[in-house]
């Protein structure tokens, strides 16, 4: 059995935070916890300061009592004939001091940061009912696969293997998130139930209203929400890293297919005196290679730079393509 403190901070001095037990209630506790006769004599309001010091010392000793001793004293208090009178005194004090209810406190709106994180996790398929990952994310990957296949045939980007790997990684992130979220919810529920049990137990001795219990539950959930926010934040970061690796990879330069490279090199070396194709030529090359005009422009720009940096090796490559062109012309 747990050791309970039956005196709430609701009756504390607002400025000092120290417990201040009313004299009649304090003398009642002293009498009920005394080892003498269980009968309660009429309170003596002429107690000396030493008597009050003894009462306060007994209250302070509650936290050091053994479980058996605490259980015994609690049973003695609950079965005491004057317990209803003590409860009534505490109720009157509570009503008079008006510390129990805070009617001016309004319900706080949801944390906007948690709302944003929830929306992102739902959009990515990490949170929510869907178990197979995000349909939107999968569609985006599929679109990347299709666009990449049209733009660069033979490229390994956007392949079904990469698509499957993305979904597997996303499923792993979802599994980790769901597991950790269950642990968080279980810990929050267990702690909340523990506090509710304590309040219900203390409610047998001191007045505790349902609104007070509800407010305490809200405080607990607010404390735990910081842990939940950290979990969601780290999960969102993991999803963004995954998206950057797989979905945004098409922004990076990729090697063209062997056929496309051959076509571009042939054009470059056959126009070595002026390796600046016109817009019409770029469109024709883009059609032949299955890539975009922008990629054609980038390729020629990089090719001219590489040619100037290594003129010797480039000259050998130029001779090779010139010989290929000559053989091709002779064959025709």
User: pLDDT by residue (tens digit) across 256-295?
Assistant: 888 888 889 889 888 888 889 998 899 899 888 888 888 8
What pLDDT score was predicted for residue 305? 84
User: Does residue 224 register a pLDDT over 60?
Assistant: yes
Give the pLDDT band (50/70/90) at residue 189: very high
User: Does residue 203 register a pLDDT over 50?
Assistant: yes
What pLDDT score was predicted for residue 9? 41
What pLDDT score was predicted for residue 257? 84
Give the pLDDT band (50/70/90) at residue 193: very high
Between 216 and 125, residue with greater pLDDT? 216
Give the pLDDT band (50/70/90) at residue 331: low
Give the pLDDT band (50/70/90) at residue 98: low
CA-to-CA distance for 318 and 71, rounded, in angstroms? 97
Q: Burial level of 215, CB count in 10 A (0-12/13-18/19+)?
A: middle
Residue with tokens 């469109």: 283
Between 202 and 177, residue with greater pLDDT? 177
Q: How does pLDDT run across 153-165, given as a tens digit for each residue?
A: 434 345 555 678 8
Q: Burial level of 25, CB count in 10 A (0-12/13-18/19+)?
A: buried
DSSP single-letter state for residue 271? T
Give the pLDDT band (50/70/90) at residue 247: low
User: Does residue 10 register a pLDDT over 80?
Assistant: no
- Residues 6 or more apart whose Cβ sits within 8 Å of residue 156: 162, 254
Phi and psi at residue 154, in whole multiples of 5°?
Answer: 90, -15
DSSP single-letter state for residue 35? S
Token pair recorded at residue 129: 């009912």
What is the average pLDDT value for the chain, to the nearest integer? 72
- Residues 6 or more apart whose Cβ sits within 8 Å of residue 153: 257, 260, 290
What pLDDT score was predicted for residue 32? 46
Whether residue 78 contacts residue 206, with contact meaning beta carbons closer than 8 Å, is answered with: no
Give the CA angle between residues 260, 266, 267 to the nearest 5°: 95
DSSP state letters, 183-202: HHHHHHHHHHHHHHHHHHHH
Q: How does pLDDT run across 296-330, given as a tens digit for each residue?
A: 988 998 888 888 777 766 677 777 777 777 777 66
What pLDDT score was predicted for residue 47? 58
DSSP state letters, 111-152: PHHHHHHHHHHHHTTSSSS-SS--HHHHHHHHHHHHHHHHHS
Measuring CA to CA, which residue among 141, 147, 173, 174 is closest to residue 160?
Answer: 141
Give the pLDDT mean for 18-45: 45
Give the pLDDT band (50/70/90) at residue 49: low
Give the pLDDT band (50/70/90) at residue 12: very low
């Amino acid at each position: 059995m747990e050791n309970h403190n039956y005196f709430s901070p609701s009756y504390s001095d607002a400025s000092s935070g120290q417990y201040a037990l009313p004299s009649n209630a304090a003398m009642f506790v002293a009498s009920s916890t005394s080892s003498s006769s269980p009968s309660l004599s009429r309170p003596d309001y002429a107690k000396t300061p030493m008597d009050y010091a003894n009462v306060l010392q007994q209250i302070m000793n509650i936290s050091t009592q053994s479980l058996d001793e605490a259980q015994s004293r609690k049973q003695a208090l609950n079965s005491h004939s004057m317990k209803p009178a003590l409860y009534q005194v505490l109720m009157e004090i509570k009503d008079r001091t008006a510390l129990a209810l805070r009617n001016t406190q309004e319900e706080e709106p949801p944390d906007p940061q948690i709302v944003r994180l929830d929306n992102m996790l739902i959009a990515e398929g990490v949170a929510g009912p869907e178990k197979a990952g995000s349909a939107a994310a999968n569609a985006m990957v599929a679109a990347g696969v299709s666009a990449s296949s049209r733009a660069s045939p033979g490229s390994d980007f956007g392949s079904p293997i990469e698509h499957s790997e993305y979904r597997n990684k996303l499923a792993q992130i979802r599994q980790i998130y769901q597991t950790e979220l269950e642990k968080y919810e279980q810990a929050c529920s267990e702690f909340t139930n523990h506090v509710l049990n304590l309040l219900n137990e203390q409610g047998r001795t001191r007045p505790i209203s349902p609104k007070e219990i509800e407010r305490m539950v809200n405080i607990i959930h607010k404390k735990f929400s910081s842990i939940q926010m950290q979990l969601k934040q780290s999960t969102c970061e993991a999803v963004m890293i995954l998206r950057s690796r797989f979905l945004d990879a098409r922004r990076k330069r990729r090697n063209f297919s062997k056929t496309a490279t051959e076509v571009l090199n042939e054009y470059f070396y056959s126009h070595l005196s002026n390796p600046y194709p016109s817009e019409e030529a770029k469109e024709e090359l883009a059609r032949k290679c299955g890539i975009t005009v922008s990629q054609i422009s980038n390729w020629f720009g990089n090719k001219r730079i590489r040619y100037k940096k290594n003129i010797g090796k480039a000259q050998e490559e130029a001779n090779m393509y010139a010989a290929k062109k000559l053989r091709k012309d002779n064959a025709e």
